[in-house]
Amino acid sequence: MKYLPIGKDLFTTNRDKLKGKLKPNSVAIFNSNDIMPTNADGTMPFRQNNNLLYLSGIDQEESILIIAPDFPDPKLREVLFVKETSELIAIWEGHKYTKDEATETSGVATVMWTSDFEKTLLTILAESENIYLDSNEHIRSGSDVETRNQRFSKWCREQYPNYEYERIAPIIYDLRTVKELKEIELLRHACAITEKGFRKVLEMVKPGVWEYEVEAEYTYEFLKNRSRGFGYEPIVAGGANACVLHYVENNQQLKDGDLLLMDVGAEYANYNADMTRVIPINGRFNERQRAVYDAVLRVKNEATALLTPGNSIPEYHKEVGLIMQNELLGLGLIDQTDIKNENPDWPAFKKYFMHGTSHHLGLDVHDVASIYTKFKPGMVFTVEPGIYIPDEGIGIRLEDDVVIQEGGHDNLMGNIPILAEEIEDLMNS
């Protein structure tokens, strides 16, 4: 890992919160992610299962966590299993956790090798009634690849068919929505790294630069500051490319008079920033670009004010839609006839603003939570309205990461330039 140690207190706190949500005489089991293959003998970079990471801080493959709060022997109420290393592994792959290091990272006192998992589980289940299994229940999940959790679920149900099985995802997802102060600190750090990249980009963007050169500038700055890199596939979109919401080719040359939309975010310690900024490639917005830019910024500011305890995403998005509708009327992009004749399931404003305004942010960029969960202090959301006008080659989205607080907000990207005047000044200084 490139990032500095987080400290075990966060993970101890997270496990304690989870224990209070489990039924009596229960066991909850969490597996690491697999190392995924590419081709031949190649593999993708390892990315830990976020639920396991949330509860242990262990950022290594072939790791398992058992939580059994009511087991008679206190030593087996929390057991962490890590991969046993060897001289050969050390030569080819490098250092792996020792048992002491795993305890220091996680706060779990009992650490065993992964090879001891099955016999230890048998011991613990002899005194248990319920088994909580982990699974990916994100509403956008859709993978053809069988995960380690899915394989384990099949194995466990076959080996222990007479237990009551429970879903852990709704419980841990609910816990993960409200961040601990240490988690907000890590998110703030990811945002600060993102800011460094953005400020560097403001110095180098000009007509003739290529989108991939801008991406490279972010990559350099992120890695230099202990980030693993981008938290998600970066969008660096010049001109009309910005009207493609998930444009990731980043292979076109930037043209004089166009805008550059950048949806990028650094990852730090597995926590993710998610920023979008739009800048004029030649350093100056023209009148039309500025009008659309300011309209999006007004929507973003008003949307942020609606992120208040007790609201929820469906109601929030409806309110933001009405704010955007008013701005689109002012820009002459829609008129009252469009609104009168609109399909209620696809309002008139959706022609130019077709995506949601906010999503949860944390260990996942689109962090886990039901969209119907009421907003609470400590939740972290993106705020990212946009207006896309393909006929004019204009696509503008502005995005900050915001913590809901009692009576206000903490904008984790408050130091990242967003006012049009400030961006122009920095690009021409």
- Whether 41 sits among the annotated catalytic residues: the reply is yes
Active-site pick, 384, 400, 401, 424: 384
Look up residue 274 and give its DSSP letter: -
What is the rounded CA–CA span in Å between residue 387 and residue 371?
23
DSSP output for 335-394: -HHHHHT-BTTB-GGGGT--S-S--B-SSSSS----TTSPP-TTBEEEE--EEEEGGGTE
- Whether 211 sits among the annotated catalytic residues: the reply is no
- Whether 359 sits among the annotated catalytic residues: the reply is yes
What is the rounded CA–CA span in Å between residue 40 and residue 33?
20
Active-site pick, 293, 388, 401, 409: 388
Active-site pick, 34, 195, 274, 401: 274
CB distance 304 to 402 below 8 Å: yes
Pairing of strands 271-272, 386-389: unpaired
Active-site pick, 397, 400, 401, 424: 397
- Whether 274 sits among the annotated catalytic residues: the reply is yes
Question: 423: Cβ–Cβ under 8 A, 6 or more apart, which residues?
Answer: 202, 277, 279, 280, 417
What is the rounded CA–CA span in Å between residue 135 and residue 368?
12
- Whether 294 sits among the annotated catalytic residues: the reply is no
- Whether 388 sits among the annotated catalytic residues: the reply is yes
What is the rounded CA–CA span in Å between residue 115 and residue 199?
48
- Whether 263 sits among the annotated catalytic residues: the reply is yes
Residue with tokens 């906010």: 358
- Whether 246 sits among the annotated catalytic residues: the reply is yes
Active-site pick, 47, 138, 284, 355: 355
Active-site pick, 61, 399, 401, 424: 399
Active-site pick, 34, 263, 364, 424: 263
Closest Cα partner for 311 from 364, 383, 362? 383
Q: How many CB atoms sit inside 10 A of residue 102's CB?
A: 22
CB distance 50 to 3 below 8 Å: no
- Whether 397 sits among the annotated catalytic residues: the reply is yes
Active-site pick, 73, 246, 249, 422: 246
What is the rounded CA–CA span in Å between residue 128 and residue 70?
8
Report, as residue numbers or ranges, the catalytic residues: 41, 246, 263, 274, 355, 359, 366, 384, 388, 397, 399
